[in-house]
């Protein structure tokens, strides 16, 4: 060994990582070379200092208890430390992965498949995925085929409504859950007893910006037709036909039509990671994020302390119900969900390109949707449990 | 529950038995806390880091592959958690001031007698280790705290063993530069 090799391998020798042969060559050089011998002596001192310093340290008394006290309420919550000020993406992704690995995404297609099942009870079996609290919500899943017997669809469909397509018509005849449900949740499979009613549709045009008026009894929406902007009104109950309220020049009034905005991209603490909305009573907030295939987070009212809630999200909608007991959100694949934070439940509502959405009250949603099979939007009312 | 194997405890945790996690924390708290302490050289901060580390372990426990040894996995998660937290922390300038007294003492040609205050010396060395660049710090800590061989460190860090040898050499060279007054003045050229 020459001086260079010896100096480079001093610590390997001290650490006992040289082969027998190497160690002997090393020592032989040290014997003959005072300069390397001095380096070796220094290195031994340093090694001793480090070894003396880097020793195990006893944690504070009660450390394990402190950890246990800080464990997340919901089992997949990755932001337990009250001290955390930053959103952690590593944890975020992990939480989403856990939720997926528990098969969360299959809850609805599996459990909802049997009519009459108590969905809340089934969800409570998965409570470690979502929330430790006992779900207080009783949700009965009804087979759309039975609902068909009630025959409410046709009487509630305004006469002026033109069906957009043959398949749509077919759906309406098989039950009220007619809005482009994914395969797993359509047909004879229930998706909760959501009553989905077509409120208004016009042949060849969109029903734009539906809004519940101040009385809460009527929905108004716009239609662009022949250079005109028409304002229509229909009763929320569906008991009356839509009526034309006014007709203005389209060019002059086009500015009236602006897609609703839902939530805000949360910049502080979260690096614009998702769409945030706060409950109006200041009790809490929620973030729907596109990260890792979509995920839903509950937060404080100011958006802090995000906790993983569900492995879906990342769409353009998040909107709290007027009573702040639930909120709707979507993913980026046109699936709409409603979340009940207190109960720890998320329910799949429907699939379709939701253009606009508003709460008529805390149970009824008014939606402008383009169905998968249609080219124009229509107005629907969905009644939640 | 204390007699159960790690893997058995983990299965219990994953089935909703939180108490099993408490056993795991107690089993490894000293090692995780020691790691955290070596990374930051501050007792209170280490408690926070170690706590965060265990909570992270809990959060990602479902990702642990049950047929692999648990402790190296836990150690890796803990290390990454600590490093991630420390990376976000702005450099602590006041702590450096504590050591200016030591740093400014004139060097002389003799190997020092044990004249430095023991506590001060210890704190300075601890801080010097904690301030090492990450790539040197981890193998140094694994080498001394866990008493691992180069090969074991290489396996843990997933880098070639020759890289570990180099890093352990350079890391200690850096320490020797800093701690020269304690080890003598000779420098490796
Ligand atoms: Zn030499």
Give the model's pLDDT for residue A238: 80
Mean pLDDT for the stretch of residues A249-261: 77
Report chain A residues whose CB lies below 8 A from the CB of B122: 53
Task: Test B59 with A41 for CB contact under 8 angstroms.
Answer: no
How far is it, in rounded angstroms, from Cα A347 to Cα A108?
8
Which residues fall within 8 angstroms of residue A215, CB to CB, at 6 or more apart?
none
Residue A7 CA to ligand 1 centre (angstroms): 7
> How far apart (Å, rounded) are the C-alpha atoms in residues B77 and B79?
5
Using CB atoms, which residue from A11, A17, A53 is nearest to B149? A17
Task: Choose among A43, A59, A76: nearest Cβ to B50.
Answer: A59
Closest approach of A126 to chain B, Cα-based (Å):
10
With a cut of 60, say whether residue A330 has pLDDT above it.
yes
For residue A331, is pLDDT > 70?
yes
Residue A141 has pLDDT above 60, yes or no: no
* B160-185 as b/e: b if 16+ CB within 10 A: eeeebbbbbbbbbbbbbebbebbbbe
- Compute the average pLDDT of residues A49-64: 92
Q: What pLDDT does residue A335 have?
A: 87
Q: Average pLDDT of chain A? A: 70
Statement: residue A193 has pLDDT above 60: no
Residue whose entry in the numeric block shows the structure tokens 């600590």: B82
Q: Which of A86-95, A154-163, A318-327 has the highest mean pLDDT?
A: A318-327
Nearest Cα to B18, choosing from A233, A178, A74, A21? A74
Give pTM, 2 decimals. Answer: 0.45
Q: Of residues A86 and A228, which shows the higher confidence score?
A: A228
Write down the pLDDT at residue A71.
81
Task: Identify the top-confidence range among A140-149, A192-201, A348-357, B154-163.
Answer: B154-163
| Bridge partners of residue A197, in order along the sequence | A381
Kindly identify which residue of chain A lies nearest to residue B125, measuring between CA atoms.
A53
Task: Look at residue A190 and tell me whether its pLDDT is greater than 50.
Answer: no
Distance from C-alpha of A201 to C-alpha of A209, rounded to nearest angstrom:
13
Q: Is A248 exposed, middle or buried (0-12, 13-18, 19+ CB in 10 A)?
A: middle
- Edge-first strand listing for the sheet containing A264-265: A264-265, A275-278, A285-289, A295-299, A307-310
CB contact under 8 A, A53 and B125: yes
Report the pLDDT averaged over residues A188-206: 68
Q: Residue A157: its pLDDT value, please?
A: 29
Give A29's contacts (C-beta < 8 A, 6+ positions apart).
A1, A2, A3, A6, A36
- pLDDT at residue B118 in the model: 72
Cα A39 to averaged position of ligand 1 atoms, centre (Å)? 9
pLDDT at residue A270, rounded to an integer: 63
Centre of ligand 1 from the C-alpha of residue B75, in Å: 39
pLDDT, mean of residues A149-156 = 36
For chain A, percent of residues with pLDDT exceeding 70: 66
Residue A114 pLDDT: 28
- CA pair distance A306, A301, nearest whole angstrom: 10
What local confidence, expressed as pLDDT, does residue A156 receive? 33
By Cβ distance, the residue of A47, A70, A78 closest to B51 is A70
- Using CB atoms and an 8 Å cut-off, which of residues 93-152 of chain B contact chain A? 122, 125-126, 129, 140-141, 143-145, 149-150
**Average pLDDT, consecutive stretches of 10 residues, N- to C-terminus, chain B (189 residues):** 90 88 95 96 94 92 87 94 83 39 41 58 89 93 94 92 94 88 56
CA dist A328 and A383 (Å) reads: 12
The shortest CB-CB distance from B183 to any of A17, A49, A55 is to: A49
B18, B143, B188: residue with CB nearest A71:
B18
**What tokens does A66 get?**
């402190």
The pair of structure tokens assigned to A49 is 């200092």
Distance (Å, whole) CA A75 – CA A44: 49
Question: Burial of B119 by CB count in 10 Å (0-12 exposed, 13-18 middle, 19+ buried)?
Answer: exposed
**Chain B 29-88, CB below 8 Å of chain A: which residues?**
29-31, 33-34, 37-38, 43, 46-48, 50-52, 54-56, 58-60, 62-63, 80, 84, 88
DSSP assignment of A282-321 equals SS-EEEEE-GGG-EEEEE-TTS-S-EEEES--EEEEEEE-
Name all domains of chain B by residue range, CATH numbers in brackets: 1-89 (1.10.1740.10)
Under an 8 A CB cutoff, do B188 and A72 touch? no
Of A93-107, A173-187, A232-246, A317-331, the range with the lowest mean pLDDT is A173-187
CB pairs under 8 A between A and B: 154
Report CA-CA distances (Å) from B28 to A170, B35, B50, B53: 62, 11, 10, 11
Q: Backbone phi, then psi, for B168, in 5-degree steps?
A: -70, -35
Q: Residue B46: what are its φ and ψ, rounded to 5°?
A: -60, -35
Quote the CA–CA distance of A78 and A96 in Å, as a whole number.
10
Most confident of A17-26, A146-155, A194-203, A294-303: A17-26
Closest chain A C-alpha to B124 CA, distance in angstroms: 10
Q: What are phi and psi of A356, to 5 degrees?
A: -145, 155
Task: Tell me the average pLDDT across A33-56.
Answer: 91
pLDDT score recorded for residue B140: 96
Q: Which residues in chain B have their CB less than 8 angstroms from residue A10's CB?
A: 169, 188
Exposure string for A199-224, b = 16+ CB within 10 A, e = fewer: bbbbeeebbbbbbbeeeeebbbbbbb
């Amino acid at each position: 060994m020459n001086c260079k090799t010896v100096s480079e391998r001093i610590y390997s020798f001290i650490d006992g990582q040289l082969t027998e042969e190497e160690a002997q060559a090393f020592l032989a050089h040290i014997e003959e070379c005072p300069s390397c011998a001095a380096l070796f002596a220094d290195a031994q001192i340093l090694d001793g200092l480090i070894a003396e310093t880097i020793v195990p340290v006893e944690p504070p008394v009660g450390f394990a208890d402190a950890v246990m006290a800080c464990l997340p309420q919901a089992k997949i919550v990755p932001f337990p430390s009250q001290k955390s000020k930053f959103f952690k993406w590593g944890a975020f992704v992990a939480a989403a992965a856990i939720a997926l690995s528990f098969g969360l995404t299959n809850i609805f297609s599996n459990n909802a498949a049997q009519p009459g099942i108590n969905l809340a009870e089934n969800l409570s079996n998965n409570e470690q995925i979502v929330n430790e609290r006992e779900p207080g919500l009783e949700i009965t899943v009804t087979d759309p085929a039975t609902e068909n017997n009630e025959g409410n669809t046709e009487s509630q469909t305004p006469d002026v409504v033109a069906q957009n397509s043959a398949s749509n018509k077919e759906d309406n005849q098989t039950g009220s859950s007619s809005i482009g449900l994914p395969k797993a949740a359509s047909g004879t499979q229930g998706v909760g007893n959501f009553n989905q009613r077509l409120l208004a549709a016009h042949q060849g045009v969109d029903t734009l910006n539906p809004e519940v008026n101040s009385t809460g009894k009527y929905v108004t929406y716009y239609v662009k037709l022949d250079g005109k902007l028409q304002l229509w009104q229909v009763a929320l109950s569906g008991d009356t036909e839509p009526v034309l309220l006014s007709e203005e020049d389209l060019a002059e009034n086009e500015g009236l039509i602006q897609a609703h905005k839902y939530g805000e991209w949360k910049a502080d603490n979260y690096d614009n990671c998702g769409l945030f909305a706060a409950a109006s009573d200041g009790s809490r907030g929620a973030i729907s994020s596109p990260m890792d295939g979509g995920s839903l987070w509950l937060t404080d009212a100011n958006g802090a302390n995000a906790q993983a809630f569900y492995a879906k999200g990342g769409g353009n909608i998040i909107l709290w119900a007027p009573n702040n007991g639930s909120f709707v959100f979507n993913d980026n694949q046109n699936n709409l969900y409603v979340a009940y934070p207190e109960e720890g439940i998320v329910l799949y509502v429907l699939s379709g390109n939701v253009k606009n959405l508003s709460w008529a009250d805390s149970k009824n949603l008014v939606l402008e949707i383009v169905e998968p099979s249609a080219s124009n939007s229509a107005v629907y009312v969905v009644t939640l449990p | 529950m204390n007699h159960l194997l790690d893997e058995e405890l983990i299965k219990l945790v994953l089935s909703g038995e939180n108490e099993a996690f408490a056993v795991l924390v107690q089993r490894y708290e000293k090692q995780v806390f020691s790691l955290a302490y070596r990374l930051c050289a501050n007792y209170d901060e280490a408690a926070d880091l170690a706590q965060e580390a265990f909570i992270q372990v809990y959060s990602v426990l479902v990702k642990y592959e049950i047929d692999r040894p648990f402790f190296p996995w836990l150690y890796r998660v803990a290390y990454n958690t600590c490093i991630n937290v420390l990376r976000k922390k702005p450099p602590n300038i006041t702590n450096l001031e504590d050591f200016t007294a030591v740093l400014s003492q004139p060097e002389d040609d003799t190997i020092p007698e044990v004249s430095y205050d023991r506590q001060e010396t210890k704190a300075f060395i601890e801080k010097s280790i904690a301030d090492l660049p990450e790539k040197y710090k981890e193998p140094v800590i694994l080498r001394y705290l866990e008493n691992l061989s180069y090969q074991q460190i290489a396996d843990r860090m997933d880098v070639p063993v020759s890289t570990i040898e180099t890093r352990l050499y350079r890391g200690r060279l850096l320490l020797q530069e800093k701690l020269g007054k304690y080890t003598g003045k000779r420098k490796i050229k």
